[in-house]
Structures are given as structure tokens and as C-alpha cells.
Structure 1
């Protein structure tokens, strides 16, 4: 008897790689097994357009005739940052100031992965906010698209207004 394609399983894993241009990537389950296809549409349903290589992820998967595929994303945790390696941009800033910065609604102005940075605009504020690729990676993302809605933590730093954390839009919504 053939297994129904509607049967799903929830599991934890690590992102092997994800390419937003190709529109897919793969996850390796903690329990082992074949690579799991992660399609961009499944990631977008979670509210993200990309995910960093090495990020921890909780997903629902479905076994199909073409292999195992993610059907839903429940949680993404950023890859582990190197121990004791703060970003040079933040090394002279009080860590408590960075942690206590509120999440603010923002939209991506532009981001160039090859250059390693980009800018966003916080709703109602005229200044651009600098986003470094390492901040993006430590937030569990690998790329941003123009116009993408985000929730970011912003401080005044060496380069002016700077993002210290980048989250999906839904992270900035008030909890009920």
C-alpha cells in the first residue's frame, strides 16, 4: 500500500544551503536521512525570502515520489555566531544598548549580497538604516529583496543608523 502524500512529519534540522535566485535549497534533518527540499514559496509563507546556510530550522515535511519536501516552516534560528566575535561596527557600543533597541517596522530599500550590505527605511523616519551582511547572517537570513517588509533593531553607530538585528515582519507585531 502506497503512503498517502498528505501525511506530514514535524522535525528539526539545519539549512544545508538556500539560493533565493534558484528559489530553493536543502535542509538536513537532525535525525539524519535524505536531504529535504525547501522551496522558496514555503519560506515565503513563513515571511522570509531567504535563510542563511547553517541556520537551525523546524519544519513540517512530506514524503513524495520525488523525495522529501518541506511543507511548512515553524521556526528559524540563526547559525551559531563565532564565540567572542562581535562585529567591528558594534565593538565600542554597550551590548545592553544593542539588546534593548526596540523592533521597528522597516522596508528594504536595496541590498547587494555581493557588496555585503544594503539599506532599509524605518516607517516614519527619513534616515536610511545600514544593514551589514553579517548582521543579516546572524539573524538567520542570507539575502533581502527591495520592498521586503522587516522588523529591525536599530542603533546609532559608526556608520549612522545601523541595524543590529533583522527579523521577519511578523516578529514586530504586538503579541495578543
Structure 2
């Protein structure tokens, strides 16, 4: 089913999706979202999920696709205002780990695998790409550019894209052991044994 995220609270670990066809809301659990490669999602994002009927209502068991809501807000970082979408997309997509992120302050830092130094993360950049928050240690992938004060993230995406769509660092690509470790760290807990089997269209 397709719908729009009504709200999602990373601290509580769940949120709800409004059905595009007017049906009952669908529960979106944090574990299901993490299996898609991210720990949060911004309100208003368009999503496509596989849902099942449970005794307590409808629940998403897989996120198939998501798109952040459109925004007319100006770029949060001055240098980004001088870059068009094609220039941002031309930047390599690199695997990284969040060092820390403070949602109340609106920023944080990450480290790209195989590179020294921190990468600045602005909350408005997160929101542009569908994230509401990040947690320390979270695996993501970034498009990074050099700004006046240092390296800055121009895009934040689910970390799997660094392997499936991006241009990962040679050291990361060659290190199968590290890749497998990242998969284990990012994988959600197993579904409970009583998971309903009735799949909704």
C-alpha cells in the first residue's frame, strides 16, 4: 500500500502511515524502517510498504520505497545554494558512521570510512532526504563537499546505497569483513513468531 507518514517518533520506535486510499492508518515500527536502512523518517514523506492485518490493526512489515516531502526552503548552508542538483548527484556516495547528532541543536558530525576528519551534518539536509534524526553509531552514506569551514554533507541516504548505487571507497569495498559487520549492526531484530500472514494489497 501507498501512503504518507503522519508521524514517527525515533525515541518511541514507531509511528503511523495514512493510507492514500483512505483506509485505516498503518503502524510503522522502527525495526521495519531500520531494515530499509534508516532509523527515522520525516513527517509527510510518501512511502510504499507491504502491510499485514493484525489483531490490533494494520502494520507495515516491509518498506519498499520512500520519498521525502517537497521543500521550497533555501539551502541551509551557503555553499549549497551555489550547487544545483546535478552537481550534488555527481559527488561520490560514501559509506560513513554518525559520530553524534543533536536534534535540538540541529547539527552533528559523521566520519567517512577510510578518511580522517569529521563531516558536518545539518538537520535541514537530513530533512531534505527524508530523515528526522540520526543516532550516534548509525551507518549512513553521504555525498560530501569541501566548504569554507570543512567537509559538509550535501546528501544523507540509507547506507546500503553506498554499495548498490554509490561509489564506495576502495578500502571499504574490498573489506568484506567490515561490510558484513555493518550489515549485522544495521539489521533489525527478528520478527516475532506470531507475525500475521494475511497480506493486504
TM-score by length of 1: 0.87
User: In the aligned structure 2, how far is the partner of 1:154 from the partner of 1:72?
Assistant: 29
Paired residue for 2:106, among 113, 116, 119? Answer: 116
How many residues align structurally? 164
Return closer, same or farther for 1:92/1:60 CA change in 2, 3 Å cut-off.
Answer: closer
Question: Which sections of structure 2, spanning at least 5 residues, go unmatched?
Answer: 166-201
Question: Which sections of structure 1, spanning at least 5 residues, go unmatched?
Answer: 1-10
Paired residue for 2:6, among 5, 16, 28? Answer: 16
The CA deviation at 1:94 is 3.0
Contact 2:75 2:81 in 1 (8 A): no
Contact 1:89 1:158 in 2 (8 A): no
Paired residue for 2:78, among 83, 89, 114? Answer: 89
3-state SS in 2 of match to 1:58: strand
The CA deviation at 1:86 is 2.9
Contact 2:98 2:138 in 1 (8 A): yes
Residue in structure 1 matched with residue 56 of structure 2 by the alignment = 66
User: In the aligned structure 2, how far is the partner of 1:144 from the partner of 1:88?
Assistant: 19
Residue in structure 1 matched with residue 199 of structure 2 by the alignment = none
Residue in structure 2 matched with residue 145 of structure 1 by the alignment = 135
3-state SS in 2 of match to 1:60: strand
User: In the aligned structure 2, how far is the partner of 1:82 from the partner of 1:92?
Assistant: 12
User: In the aligned structure 1, how far is the partner of 2:77 from the partner of 2:112?
Assistant: 23
User: In the aligned structure 2, how far is the partner of 1:130 from the partner of 1:148?
Assistant: 15
Regions of 4+ moved over 3 Å: none
TM-score by length of 2: 0.77
Paired residue for 1:46, among 20, 36, 57? Answer: 36
The CA deviation at 1:78 is 1.3
User: Is the helix fraction higher in 1 or 2?
Assistant: 2
User: In the aligned structure 1, how far is the partner of 2:80 from the partner of 2:31?
Assistant: 37
The CA deviation at 1:93 is 2.6
3-state SS in 1 of match to 2:160: helix
Contact 1:27 1:37 in 2 (8 A): yes
Computed over aligned residues only, the root mean square deviation of the Cα atoms, in angstroms, reads 1.5
The CA deviation at 1:97 is 3.1
Contact 1:150 1:166 in 2 (8 A): yes
The CA deviation at 1:89 is 2.6
